Amino acid sequence: MVLTYYEYINENRGISNFIKKLSTIISGKISKELEYISDKDYVPFYIKIDTDFEEISQIESINIVIKMDRSNYHSKFYLKGSNLLKDIYLEFDIPKKSKLDHFYLHELISHELTHLYEYYNIVINQRSFPLYNRIKKSLVRTIKQDDFDIFSYFRNLVYLTLDNEMNARVSQTYQLLTFKKIKDKDQLFSILKTTHIWKKIKEIENFNPKKYVSDLIEMLGVDLTKILVNGFNDELLNNGIQFRWIKNVENEEDLIRYFKNWNLRFKYKLKKHFQKLNRVIDEVVKDH
C-alpha cells in the first residue's frame, strides 16, 4: 500500500522502503562519480537520477548537485521553475574527497529524500502546507536575528523541533544505525547516544527558560532582547502562527513566561520524537 505523507509519519515504520532503496542508489552513483574527482577539483558536478518508485510516481527524475567546498556538510532540497513536480534538486555541499564520510552522506541523502516525499504528498493531494512550513518562513524572514549568537541558539531549537526536521532525522537514524550491522536493540540505543543526532536531542532537552532569559539579559540587555523576541513574534503572526503565547513581551517576567511556553512545545515534540526513534530502532533490528 502506498501511504500519503501524513499516514507515513504516523505509521509504525520509521522509514519508507522506497527511501531506503533510492538513498542507496543515489549514494552509489555519487561514489561512482567521485572516483573521477580529485581533491583539487572544486567545480560542482551534477547527476540525474531517473525514478521508478510508485510512492513518487509523478516525479520522473531528481537532479543531484554535489559541491566540494565545505569542511562541514550541508544539504538541501529545492525546486527550479514553476512546475511543482519537475526540476527537483537535492544539493550536497561536502568536504574534499579524502575527508568525505560516505556513511554520513548517505544519512543526509535519506534526510533530504524524506523532505522530498513530504513535499510530493502535499502537492499531489493538493493540501495546504502544514504549520511548520509557516514557522520555517518566519525563521527565514528574521534571519538577521542570527547575528546575535545567543538568540540564534533559541531559533535553532525552534527549527530542530519542526515536524519535518524531526521526521527527516528519524530517516537519518535508520541509515546511521543500519550501517552498524547490530541486532541488539539496547546496543543500538547506546550507539545512538554517541551520535550527532543525539547531540541535537540533548540541545532541546537541556533548554532552561529561566537561565536562558538571564543569559539573554546579561549579554544583550532587556531592551534588545525584547526587540528580538517581539520582532520574531511579529513575523510568526504575519505567517498565521497564533500560539496563545505569541504576543509582545514587556519585561523579564514576560520573557520567562514566553520561553517556558516554547519549552513546553519543545518537550512535547521531543516525546513524540523518542517514540519514533524507538520504532526505527525496532525496524533496524528487524531488517538485519
Hey, how many other C-beta atoms are within 10 angstroms of the C-beta on 247?
13
For residues 151 and 142, is the Cβ–Cβ distance under 8 A?
A: no
Report how far residue 169's alpha carbon sits from residue 106's, in angstroms, rounded to the nearest whole number: 12
**Per-domain boundaries in the chain:** 5-124, 131-287
The model's pLDDT over 173-208, given as tens digits with 9 standing for 90+, comes to 999 999 999 999 999 999 999 999 999 999 999 999
Question: Which pLDDT tens digit goes with each residue over 221-252?
Answer: 999 999 999 999 999 999 999 999 999 999 99
Percent of the chain clearing pLDDT 70 (strictly above): 94
CA atoms within 13 A on the CB side of 257: 11
pLDDT of residue 53: 95
- For 24-28, 122-126, 252-256, which range has the lowest pLDDT when averaged over its residues? 122-126
Mean pLDDT value across residues 9-18: 64
Span of 93-97, 154-158, 187-191, 204-208 with lowest mean pLDDT: 93-97
Number of Cβ atoms within 10 Å of the Cβ of 165: 18
Q: What is the mean pLDDT of the chain?
A: 91
Cα 229 to Cα 146, 150, 203, 221, 233, distances in angstroms: 12, 12, 20, 12, 6
CB 61 within 8 A of CB 48: yes
SS3 sequence of 142-164: CHHHHHCHHHHHHHHHHHHCCHH
| Overall average pLDDT of the 62-88 stretch | 90
